[in-house]
Amino acid sequence: MASDAPVIACRNVWKIFGDDPTGYLKKMPSGHSYDDIRADGYIAGVKDVSIEVGRGEMLVIMGLSGSGKSTLVRCFSRLHDITGGTIEVEGQDIMALSEKELIDLRRNKMGMVFQSFGLLPHRTVLDNVAFPLEMRGQDKHARRARALEVIKLVGLEGREDYFPRELSGGQQQRVGIARSLAIEPDIWFLDEPFSALDPLIRREMQDEFLRLQEMLGKTIVFITHDFDEALRLADRIAIMKDGAVEQCDTPDQIVMNPATEYVRKFTEEIDKSRVVHAGILVKPDQKGEGDPVPAGATIHALASTLVSDTREFIPVVDNDTVIGAISRQEALHVLVGSN
Domain residue extents for the chain: 54-77+97-270, 273-336
What pLDDT, on the 0 to 100 scale, is given for residue 41?
A: 95
The values of phi and psi at residue 236, to 5°, are -135, 155
**pLDDT tens-digit map of 102-128:** 988 988 889 888 766 678 999 999 999
Predicted pLDDT of residue 267: 86
Query: How many Å apart are CA 75 and CA 69, to the nearest integer?
Result: 10
Query: pLDDT at position 116, please?
Result: 67
CATH entry 3.40.50.300 includes domain 54-77+97-270: yes
Distances (CA, A) of 329 to 77, 105, 245, 253, 311: 47, 52, 33, 19, 9
Residue 205: its pLDDT value, please?
Answer: 80
CA distances from 126 to 92, 115, 146, 169, 303 (A): 34, 20, 10, 17, 47
Q: Give residue 292's pLDDT.
A: 94
Residues of the chain with pLDDT under 50: 1-3, 339
Backbone angles phi, psi at 247, to 5 degrees: -160, 140
Residues in Cβ contact with 125 at an 8 Å cutoff, skipping those fewer than 6 apart: 151, 156, 159, 160, 161, 162, 163, 164, 167, 175
Phi/psi of residue 4, nearest 5 degrees = -70, -35
Residue 2: what pLDDT? 46
Q: Is the pTM of this model over 0.75?
A: yes
Overall fold of domain 273-336 = CBS-domain (3.10.580)
Predicted local confidence at residue 92, as pLDDT? 94
Taken in order 284, 250, 6, 95, the sign of the CA dihedral is negative
Distance, CA of 206 to CA of 126 (rounded, Å): 23
